[in-house]
Each structure stands twice: as structure tokens, then as C-alpha cells.
A and B are shown apart, each in its own frame.
Chain A
Amino acid sequence: MGHCTLPATVAPPQPVCAPEHAAMGHCTPSTASVAEGTDLPAGTGSPPAVPTDHAADAVYGPSAMAMGRHHLALHHGGQNFSMVMLNIAEAKIREGREGYKWNGEAWYGGDLNRLVVKSEGEGEFGRKVESAEVQALYSRAIGPYFDLQTGLRYDFEPNPSRVYATLGLEGLAPGFFEVDGALFLSDRGEVRARLEGFYDQRITQELILQPRAEINFAAQSSEDIGVGAGLTNAELGIRLRYEIAREFAPYIGVQYEQAFGETRDFLRNDGESTGGWSFLAGIRTWF
């Protein structure tokens, strides 16, 4: 009737289940002694309320313990970390002309909220920097693998420089592809977009092949900086690095890049190259 519970140790009445009854399926014969301890089923009670006090306060005083609790939280999930990663820092040789390129990012913060600074650019040795940009972003984890990033991008070059409002998504796609996509709205109302991704294919524990792709788009032409509407340019590269340490890996690679549409026309008019193969040699490093 459920009015009470029998003590667990009470032995069941002896003829619990006669064999003939068991054979007919009327009952299950008891095999051994009666259940006790962990063999017993758990009840359906509910937990008590969460207390608001701290036991140790009464012994050591609230102020000493408050400091201890602060450190406790800090050292059990509350710490901030940082990382600076220069994925690309390379010399680039194309048609006998030597250039350089960098692409990296740094972050500081906790597990979910971070300040992210990204920078990339390129140029030719002995000439003015062709392009150089820095982004300062607030990054917020929106899933196990992806961060939503928003902030500002400033292009030092090409001139006249621009400031963009940025909204992007960076993370790890199924298959372990690192991807990064962003939309940029300039202070002149121009809209541009960039998609990039790479994949680390381990050949051995230290030798890693990194295919990498980047494509850029523009919603409208900006002739003053040589950007045409539509697909502007794309890069497809492959870099083979050797991790002397996880943090330090020299690499070599090749890359094919191509400008498209109006962008290509702007470059032609300036007598610049519109694309082609280059050989790469660089360092991937982080700390």
C-alpha cells in the first residue's frame, strides 16, 4: 500500500516461489540472500536546497575565505590565456620578383570571450607595402567549434586607407578544416567579403602539409584601391612544414593566385601582374 517500507534486512517469507509456480511463470525464484546495500534500488527523494553559507567561514572567518574562494574560482576554470600565432611569415618568389607575406592572429581571454587581433599583408622587397591590414575583434564562442567575431578592420595599405566594420565566423568545420569567413563594411559604404580555410594534413608526427585557400569578394568597385566588383582574387597554396617544435616550423610551399574581373583589369592597366605561381619559404610560429 506504500504506507511504509519494510526494513531491507528482513528475510522474505520462506516459500517465496515454489519451483512449480516459477515454471508456470507466476513468480521468479529467489536465487540467493535478500538484496541489501548497493543491490537495493534508490528511492525517489529530492535534494535539499542549496545552502547559501560556507562551512569554513565559521572556522576561518568570512574575509579570509572570500579571498580563498576567489582564487579557487580563478584556478578552476577562470583563468585568461593568450596566444600569438603567425601562420604565415614567408618570402615569396614569383617571376624573379621577391616579395613577402604575413598572416597571423593573436588572442587574449577566457574560454568563450576573447579579444582577437588579426593581421595580414604583403608586398615586394624594396617597394612600398602593397596591402596591410589589422583587425581588432571581440570573439564570442557560439558553439563547440565556432566563434562569432565582430569589430574593426583598418587597412594601412592600399591607400587611401579604409576602416571597415567586421562581422565574421571562425572555427573548425567537420573534417577538421579550419575556416574563417568575414563581411566588411567600409566607412565609404563598400561591402567586401573574405573566405579562407586551411587543413593540416599530418604526414608524420612533425611533417605537416597545409593546403590553404582564400577568396575575396567586393559588392562594388573601388577603383582608387584597385578593387573591382564581384570575385576579386583567389589564392590556393600548399605549404609543407616541419615542426622542429610545435611552436616553430619552417616551411616551403607553392601558391597560385589569380585576380578576376574588374580587379584584374585594374591591375593590367597599372602594368601589374594579375596572377601566377610563386614559390614560398617561411616560418610558422606561435607562442
Chain B
Amino acid sequence: MNQPVLGRRALLRAAAVSGAGLGLAQALPAWAQPLSKGLVRPLPTVSGNDIALIIGQVSVEVDGKVSRAVGVNGTVPAPLIRLKEGQRVRLRVENTLDEESSIHWHGLLVPFQMDGVPGVSFPGIMPRSTFDYEFELNHSGTYWYHSHSAYQEEDGLYGPIVVDPAGPDPVAYDREHVLVLSDHSPLAGATIYRKLKQMGGPYFNRQRMTLSGLLAGKDLTAKERWDWAQMRMDAADIADVTGSTYTFTVNGFGPFDNWTGLFAPGERVRLRIINASAQTTFNIRIPGLPMTVVQADGLNVRPVTVDEFQIGTAETYDVVVTPQDRAYSFVSEASDRSGLGRATLAPREGMSAPVPPLRPRPLLTMKDMGMGDMGGMDHSAMGQGGMSGGSANPARARGIDPTAQQNASGELWKLTGWKETVAAAATATSMAGMDHAAMRHAPAAAPATAAPPPDHADMGHAMPSSTATGQASAPMDHGSMGMRDFANAPQVDKNPGVQTISPMPVDRMGDPGTGLDNVGHRVLTYRDLVALQRNPDVRAPSRHLDIHLTGNMERYMWSFDGVKLSEPAEPIPFRLGERVRVRLVNDTMMQHPIHLHGHFFELVTGHGAHSPRKHTVNVQPGGTATFDVTLDAKGDWAFHCHNLYHMAAGMMRVVTVRSAEGDVQ
């Protein structure tokens, strides 16, 4: 029962190709070795009922550069923990660091005292000491684990968990690969956070708007820039930490290392995709290969086929693909387009496929400011009308600043022979793959730098509203008063840590995510997710709760309702068994992947008793996301933004779940 679900064929094939040059991969677990050496040798130490994990300092090599990291059992990412629904597991975690550590089982429903958040669920694992986690697995799916101490998650303490179902898996597949995405920096997480506190977003952002860009007629017009500057807002501030320091990794490998997973042509390959990054939102594509999403955050959803989806930090998606006899590039592009992660799916060892170029970084819009859909309606300012009906991304319409920098991964398209014309050319390396099925999907893989064909734009899952109204990027004359009017959020504490209050936040769960409007192919939105199984609790929520996501980018302060955890903030109280509708209102211009420990919640996206159940929801800038949650797990739980640096800055609360008597035991 500890064996991964693999075909015999797959094992034989993998065995045949093992032993490739793996010199650089010393610090990787077997399952993450290039060419999927893990297919041959799943780690025995991380299956079964008794698992030992040793947290310690390691040295890792990413794209040829060595840096210090924190790993588990000597590897980054940490070993795959493979469990089975219904089993009871004991995980003995030894901390060999000189600082406190911890492991949180992200998405697993465990007793609160086993949840692994120091100061909330337990005291933490002191230096040079051991802690035994023990719990039962009562659900299956793709999850992950990571440190909840200091910045260890950025420093490498993260790994995947797969819980195989006790019964038959409703998802049919012949083979699987686990893809753990991260953002690796040679800087320690503590250093990154210090720089952010000292200088804020501009420290790492090398794609800002400049005078050169203005003179070249790129990005925003002078008038639009002036309007943004008057509000002391930067439309190019998509990510706090960027490819200027990050190498975006897949299973610990950089884009040039090129982790490769093998398949036999025609197989149904399940990819378990985990965003284990500290703070990066990724756009996931496999050019030429549509992905059928079958699971979100560990729980099955009705299959929905897309060409791309955005995955917020801490989310997981399982997709099934049916590749032909050719190689494919798996691309995890940072949402600010400062770099990409890349892996290869191939039928044979040593193959690679063209890697698409990084698309131009998007700019924020009025909708990201919490001004709803009203937009500026100034189509002339967009410099492009007609075809796409007004782009949400002026950087695409007018072109991006000529001095904007992307990391080395931005050169991969040249090195891999990406052709701008048709993605079908990508199959040229594998003539055997020139079948008609692949050709039919070719347009979906066309480089997104080209203007989307109108029919595709119309067909796409992009928000109808954004296609219809066209969002001008410049604020109109709303006056800056409206941007920080506490009358719009009476519960928010009035303090300097609150820079803006969204005046007209709208539900953005139907949006594909920053920069993915009108990309010319099918992009997943939360609204496309429908739970495969009926929700366990379909009662109406007994009450409604608004929580505002607040911050100040200039001071690099982040909080809920204007109160940092350290203030100290009061817990958010719930009654055991009650069902509550929670609306998250993003009063900032950044994405916030919000995670509630110990529970799944149902997204309120119009799917009634089949609402998708998640543990993390990425709330789009200036928008809202709403979920219903049944508080069925007694105890104290962490509730926080999964952007590590937002959490470190205070964007976290303790959630209490108590029976009516207030008794927790």
C-alpha cells in the first residue's frame, strides 16, 4: 500500500532510463530526480505508519548555483510523504537547526494540537529536539507540508504529500508525476523580508515604469502615470519579490536544470501540481497540451479542460493530460512575468520541447484598485481598440518598458527554438508526434504575445465584464479621498497600516487572475470548479462575516481589518458546528492567497451543493472572494495570507472554534 499508483509498464520504462547524469542532484529526493528516477525508487523512509523526518541545513544547487538551504532528510524539496486514506501515521520530526522549527501539514485535517503552528497549535519544535506528530488520515488527495516557523519555508522546508484514496480513485490515470513549484533565492528569507521592510516592493521589482518607457510610448501614458503617482500607487507592482532574485523551480530544479518526467504516448498522466512557493503566483501551461483539472486543493472536482490556470501560493491542482509521442514543456510562469519555471514531459530520456517566451508583465487596473468594473472607459488611452475590445493589460497593448528585466529563464525560448508562428512547430523535434489531435490544439499554444484571435477571446473563460467594458489603467477623477474612506469598511482599524480601502470591491472569483485576461485560450477561474461529490454540509450559513485584507505597500505592513497579529489581534471566534459565510474583501492592490487551517471551505460561486471545497483561496487585488465554512474542528487554528512575507508582517489571525460551553477538550 506504500507503492505509488504506477503502471508496471511505467516502472520498467523508468528503470530503463535511470542512471542518467545526475551529479547535480545530490540534494534532491529520489522522486524529484531528473528523468523521474523516483519512478523506480520511491522513498521508503517516507511511507508507512512510522515516518522519520530530520530538519537540517543543506546545500542545494539550482541552475548551477549553490546556496544554503533548510531541508528535510537532506533534500529540498522535502521527501514525498505517501500515505493512504484511513491509516494512522506517526511522523517523528527531529529539528537539527539552531532555531525553532515546525511542520504544518497543509490541507490535511488533523487535530489542532497536531497542526504544527508554533504558538497556536503547539509550542514549536525547539532546536535539537524532536516532536511526534500523530494523526489519522480521513481523506485523500494532493497536499503538502512546510515549516510554519520564521522564513524556513522560503529557505527550502517544503515537500509534497499524497494521500491515496481508500477506495477506487474516481480519477483514471496510468501514471503520475508530482510537480512541486517554488521560488528559490540565494538570499535567506530573513534577508528578503528585511529588504522589503527597508525599501518595499521597489527593491526587487526590475520591471518598473521608467522615463525610457514613457519616451518610447510604452506602458502607461504620461497622464495615466501622473494619475497613478498622485495616488502613490505603482501599477507595475505585481509581486513583492521577483525573478530579480528568484529562480523558479520545479521539484527543486531550475528551468535550465530541466526536470523531466517520462510517459508512454497516449497514457493518461496525472500531474499533481503544488505551489509551495513562499510568495509567487504561477501561471501554468503546457503548450500544445490541454490540461483537464480533476482536483483542487486535494479534493476532486468535475473534470474541466483548460489551456492555462493560475495557481496561488499554497494551492494545489491535479490535472490529467494525454500527451502524444513528443516532448512538452511544463511552464510555471511567475504572474509578474519576471521569470518562469520549466520542466519537461517526454516519452524518452533526453528530449526537450521549445519553451515559450515570458509574456510582458501586466499592469494593474482600476479593478485592482477596488473600483469594480466601472473602469475609466477611456478607450482612446488604451492605444488599441477593436479586436480584443480593450485589453486589461496596457503593457500588451502599448508594449512594455524597454528597460524591464526578466531573469535568465526569459532567454530559454531562444535556446529551445520556440517559433513565434505556430506551436505545431514545437512538435518538429518529434516528428512522430505530428498527429492531428496535437495540431488541433496548436492555436492554444500560440505565443501569447500575439494579439488573441477574436473568436478565442470570446470563447475564453475570461470575465465577460472585462471583455465588455475594457478597463482603463488610469484612475479617473475619483479623487484620492475615495481610496481611503473608512466608511466603506467600518470594521477596519484606522491606522497608518491601512493605505487604501477598496471603494467598490466586486466578486472576482470569475476572474482568471492578474494578467490572464484575454490571453487567447481557455483559462481556469474559480467559477469553473465544481465539486465532484456533494458537499457534506449544505445548510445555509447562520451568519455572515466580512474580513478585510489590508496593507500599506510603502511601509510594507499587512493585516486583517487593519490589525496585525502582533498588536495583539483578537482571535476570530466561531461556534463548533456553525456554518458561516465569510467574505474576504481585498483592500490592497496585491493578491492574497488566504488559508484557513483545519477546514475546507466551499467557494460561493453559484454551484450550490457542489461548491468546490478548498483550503486556500487567492483573493484578487481590489476584489472579494466568498466562502461558506462549517466549523467542525474544535480548537485554535491559524488563518493567514500564504504570502510568507505578508504573513510575517502580521497578516494572520487565530481562529477559535469552541462548543457552546467553551470547552475545547
Residues of A within 8 A of B (CB): 8-9, 33, 35-51, 53-56, 58-60, 64-65, 67-79, 81, 83, 111-112, 141-145, 172, 174-176, 201-205, 209, 246, 286
In angstroms, how far is the closest chain A Cβ from the Cβ of B644? 11
Q: Kindly list the 4 A-B residue pairs having the minimum CB-CB distance in the complex, ordered from nearest.
A: A77-B650, A72-B119, A77-B564, A78-B566
**Given A47-B573, A71-B100, A111-B557, A56:B603 Cβ within 8 A:** no
Instruction: Give Cα A189–Cα B552 distance, bound, in whole angstroms.
Output: 39
Q: Which residues of B contact A111 (CB under 8 A)?
A: 496-497, 555, 557, 564
On whether the beta carbons of B543 and A43 are closer than 8 Å, the reply is yes
Q: Which residues of A contact B605 (CB under 8 A)?
A: 38
Interface residues of B in 96-138 (CB under 8 A from A): 100, 112-113, 117-124
On whether the beta carbons of B552 and A144 are closer than 8 Å, the reply is yes
On whether the beta carbons of A56 and B122 are closer than 8 Å, the reply is yes
On whether the beta carbons of A176 and B602 are closer than 8 Å, the reply is no
Q: Which residues of A contact B640 (CB under 8 A)?
A: 76
On whether the beta carbons of B123 and A53 are closer than 8 Å, the reply is no
Instruction: Give Cα A67–Cα B119 distance, bound, in whole angstroms.
Output: 7
Q: Which residues of A contact B268 (CB under 8 A)?
A: none
For the complex, is B13 an interface residue (Cβ under 8 Å from A)? no
In angstroms, how far is the closest chain A Cβ from the Cβ of B351? 36
Instruction: Give Cα A76–Cα B231 distance, bound, in whole angstroms.
Output: 28
On whether the beta carbons of A37 and B150 are closer than 8 Å, the reply is no
Encode B535-548 as 1/0 by CB contact (under 8 A) with A. 10011111111000
On whether the beta carbons of A51 and B662 are closer than 8 Å, the reply is yes
In angstroms, how far is the closest chain B Cβ from the Cβ of A71? 6
In angstroms, how far is the closest chain A Cβ from the Cβ of B80? 28
Q: Which residues of A contact B195 (CB under 8 A)?
A: 246
On whether the beta carbons of B210 and A38 are closer than 8 Å, the reply is no
Which of B119, B198, B557 has a CB less than 8 Å from the CB of A69? Answer: B119
List the A residue with the shortest CB-CB distance to B205. Answer: A205
Interface residues of B in 566-609 (CB under 8 A from A): 566-568, 570-571, 573-575, 578, 580-581, 602-609
Which DSSP category, helix, strand, loop or mixed, fits chain B's interface?
loop
Instruction: Give Cα A174–Cα B233 distance, bound, in whole angstroms.
Output: 9
Q: Which residues of B contact A204 (CB under 8 A)?
A: 210, 212, 403
Q: A78-B650, A141-B496 are in contact. List 14 more A-B contacts (CB 8 A).
A: A37-B608, A37-B628, A38-B606, A38-B627, A40-B539, A41-B540, A42-B542, A76-B647, A76-B648, A81-B194, A141-B555, A143-B496, A174-B480, A176-B229
Encode B422-443 as 1/0 by CB contact (under 8 A) with A. 0000000000000000000000
Interface residues of B in 620-634 (CB under 8 A from A): 627-628, 634
Q: Which residues of B contact A69 (CB under 8 A)?
A: 119
Complex A-B: 8 CB contacts under 8 Å: A40-B540, A42-B543, A47-B573, A56-B123, A78-B566, A112-B496, A143-B496, A202-B211
On whether the beta carbons of A42 and B210 are closer than 8 Å, the reply is no
For the complex, is B361 an interface residue (Cβ under 8 Å from A)? no
On whether the beta carbons of B664 and A45 are closer than 8 Å, the reply is no
On whether the beta carbons of A36 and B609 are closer than 8 Å, the reply is yes
Q: Which residues of A contact B559 (CB under 8 A)?
A: 77
For the complex, is B55 an interface residue (Cβ under 8 Å from A)? no
Instruction: Give Cα A203–Cα B636 distance, bound, in whole angstroms.
Output: 51
Instruction: Give Cα A41–Cα B539 distance, bound, in whole angstroms.
Output: 10
Q: How many residues on B have C-beta within 8 angstroms of the other chain's C-beta atoms?
A: 95
For the complex, is B658 an interface residue (Cβ under 8 Å from A)? yes
Q: Which residues of A contact B545 (CB under 8 A)?
A: 47
On whether the beta carbons of B211 and A203 are closer than 8 Å, the reply is yes
**Given A8-B540, A72-B565, A141-B555, A59:B122 Cβ within 8 A:** yes
On whether the beta carbons of B565 and A144 are closer than 8 Å, the reply is no
Instruction: Give Cα A83–Cα B665 distance, bound, in whole angstroms.
Output: 47
On whether the beta carbons of A205 and B555 are closer than 8 Å, the reply is no
Instruction: Give Cα A209–Cα B150 distance, bound, in whole angstroms.
Output: 37
On whether the beta carbons of A144 and B123 are closer than 8 Å, the reply is no
On whether the beta carbons of B656 and A38 are closer than 8 Å, the reply is no
**Given A56-B113, A56-B120, A144-B496, A246:B565 Cβ within 8 A:** no
Which of A35, A60, A172 has a CB less than 8 Å from the CB of B608? Answer: A35
Instruction: Give Cα A48–Cα B575 distance, bound, in whole angstroms.
Output: 7
In angstroms, how far is the closest chain B Cβ from the Cβ of A129? 29
Q: Which residues of A contact B124 (CB under 8 A)?
A: 68, 71
Q: Which residues of A contact B664 (CB under 8 A)?
A: 53, 55, 58
Q: Which residues of B contact A33 (CB under 8 A)?
A: 608
Best-buried of A65, A69, A72, A141 by chain B (most CB within 10 Å) = A72
On whether the beta carbons of B232 and A174 are closer than 8 Å, the reply is yes
On whether the beta carbons of A205 and B648 are closer than 8 Å, the reply is no
Which of B208, B497, B542, B602 has a CB less than 8 Å from the CB of A43? Answer: B542
Residues of B within 8 A of A (CB): 100, 112-113, 117-124, 149-150, 194-195, 197-199, 203, 206-212, 226, 229-232, 403-405, 480, 484, 495-499, 535, 538-545, 552, 554-555, 557, 559, 564-568, 570-571, 573-575, 578, 580-581, 602-611, 627-628, 634-636, 640, 647-652, 656, 658, 662, 664-665
Instruction: Give Cα A51–Cα B581 distance, bound, in whole angstroms.
Output: 20
On whether the beta carbons of A48 and B541 are closer than 8 Å, the reply is no
List the B residue with the shortest CB-CB distance to A35. Answer: B608
On whether the beta carbons of B497 and A45 are closer than 8 Å, the reply is no
Instruction: Give Cα A9–Cα B554 distance, bound, in whole angstroms.
Output: 50
Q: Which residues of A contact B578 (CB under 8 A)?
A: 45
On whether the beta carbons of A144 and B499 are closer than 8 Å, the reply is yes
Which of A49, A76, A176 has a CB less than 8 Å from the CB of B566? Answer: A76
Instruction: Give Cα A118–Cα B241 distance, bound, in whole angstroms.
Output: 29
Best-buried of B231, B403, B498 by chain A (most CB within 10 Å) = B403
In angstroms, how far is the closest chain B Cβ from the Cβ of A272? 38
**Given A38-B628, A56-B113, A51:B573 Cβ within 8 A:** yes
Which of A41, A51, A70 has a CB less than 8 Å from the CB of B119? Answer: A70
Instruction: Give Cα A203–Cα B403 distance, bound, in whole angstroms.
Output: 9
On whether the beta carbons of B608 and A39 are closer than 8 Å, the reply is yes
Q: Which residues of A contact B656 (CB under 8 A)?
A: 50-51, 55
Instruction: Give Cα A73–Cα B226 distance, bound, in whole angstroms.
Output: 39
In angstroms, how far is the closest chain A Cβ from the Cβ of B480? 7
Q: Which residues of A contact B609 (CB under 8 A)?
A: 36-37
Q: Which residues of B contact A144 (CB under 8 A)?
A: 484, 496-499, 552, 554-555
Which of A56, A76, A81, A143 has a CB less than 8 Å from the CB of B564? Answer: A76
On whether the beta carbons of A176 and B232 are closer than 8 Å, the reply is yes
On whether the beta carbons of B541 and A202 are closer than 8 Å, the reply is no
On whether the beta carbons of B203 and A246 are closer than 8 Å, the reply is yes
Q: Which residues of A contact B539 (CB under 8 A)?
A: 8, 40
In angstroms, how far is the closest chain A Cβ from the Cβ of B547? 12
In angstroms, how far is the closest chain B Cβ from the Cβ of A252? 18
On whether the beta carbons of A38 and B603 are closer than 8 Å, the reply is yes
**Given A144-B555, A204-B403, A37:B198 Cβ within 8 A:** no
In angstroms, how far is the closest chain A Cβ from the Cβ of B252? 26
List the B residue with the shortest CB-CB distance to A147. Answer: B496
Q: Which residues of B contact A38 (CB under 8 A)?
A: 535, 602-608, 611, 627-628
Q: Which residues of A contact B194 (CB under 8 A)?
A: 81
List the B residue with the shortest CB-CB distance to A78. Answer: B566
Instruction: Give Cα A172–Cα B211 distance, bound, in whole angstroms.
Output: 20
Q: Which residues of A contact B568 (CB under 8 A)?
A: 73
Instruction: Give Cα A49–Cα B652 distance, bound, in whole angstroms.
Output: 19
In angstroms, how far is the closest chain A Cβ from the Cβ of B270? 28
Instruction: Give Cα A152–Cα B362 distance, bound, in whole angstroms.
Output: 46
List the B residue with the shortest CB-CB distance to A246. Answer: B203
In angstroms, how far is the closest chain A Cβ from the Cβ of B501? 11
List the B residue with the shortest CB-CB distance to A85. Answer: B198
On whether the beta carbons of B571 and A51 are closer than 8 Å, the reply is yes
On whether the beta carbons of B543 and A46 are closer than 8 Å, the reply is yes
On whether the beta carbons of A50 and B573 are closer than 8 Å, the reply is yes
**Given A38-B608, A144-B554, A55:B496 Cβ within 8 A:** no
Instruction: Give Cα A45–Cα B544 distance, bound, in whole angstroms.
Output: 8
In angstroms, how far is the closest chain A Cβ from the Cβ of B126? 10
List the B residue with the shortest CB-CB distance to A140. Answer: B496
On whether the beta carbons of A45 and B210 are closer than 8 Å, the reply is no
